Amino acid sequence: MTLKTVTVIDYGVGNLLSVRRGLEYNDALVKVTGDPEEIFQSDRVVLPGVGAFADGMAELDKRDFISLIHDLTSKGTPLLGICLGMQFLLDESEEFGLTDGLGLISGKVTAVPSNAKDGSKLKIPHIGWNNLVKPKEGGVSWKGTLLEDTKEDSALYFVHSYMAQPKDSKHLIAGCLYGDNFIPAVIQSENVIGCQFHPEKSGKIGLQMLKNFLNI
C-alpha cells in the first residue's frame, strides 16, 4: 500500500502537533512545513488555524502562500481547512472589519450569534462538544465527503467566535445548532473542504474524518 503524503502548512499559526498526530494515526506520511515546494508537491494539504482572521491571512500573505494555495487547489490537490483554516476559504470575514479571504468558496465569515432566537443569551466563543445536523435544505449526501460513515448527531469539538457562511447552499455539507442558531460545520467545493470543528480533538469520530480526507 502506498502511503498518502500530507502537508500541514506551517505559517506560524495553528494547532500543528495535534493535527499531525491525527493524520499519522491514519498511516499518512505527514510533513509540517512552510516550504512552498514541499507543500505544492504533496498529495494532500491541511490548512490549520487559530486566532484572528486578519492576523492569519497576513501571515499567509507574508509567506506568499495565498497564490500557492490557489495553484495547488487549481491542479486538484485536496485541501482541508480546519477551524480558522475553514474560514480562510471564503471571500471575506467581518471579524474586526472586513478582511479578504482566499475566495476558494464564495461566502462570508460572520459572528456567531450571541442570542438564541427566543432572545436568551449564548456564550461566545462557542466552546465545547456539539452535534452534527444536516442542512435544512436536506438531501445532502455525505458519501464521498469528510463525513462518510459518520452518523448524524455525532458530537464534535468546537472553539470559535465566527462562522463561515457559504453563499451557495450546495457547498454546505453539515452544521450544528448553537441555541437554535444553525452554525455551518462542514463546507466543500470539489477538492476544497473546510470543517469548523477540530477533528484532531474529536476522538474516534474526528480521526475517522481525517481518514476520509486521505481517501478523497
Active-site amino acid positions:
83, 198, 200
Residue 164: name the closest of 183, 140, 190, 139 by CA: 183
Q: How many CB atoms are closer than 10 A to CB 211?
A: 19
- Across the chain, how many H-helices and E-strands are there? 6, 13
- Tell me which H or E stretch contains 208: helix 203-214
Report how far residue 50's alpha carbon sits from residue 15's, in angstroms, rounded to the nearest whole number.
7
Question: Are the C-beta atoms of 72 and 39 separated by less than 8 Å?
Answer: yes
Amino acid at 54: A
Question: Are the C-beta atoms of 160 and 125 separated by less than 8 Å?
Answer: yes
Angstrom distances, CA of residue 207 to CA of 1, 29, 196, 214: 20, 15, 15, 11
Report how far residue 13's alpha carbon sits from residue 62's, in angstroms, rounded to the nearest whole number.
13
Residues in a beta bridge with 111: 162
Which triple of cell numbers denotes residue 81? 481547512
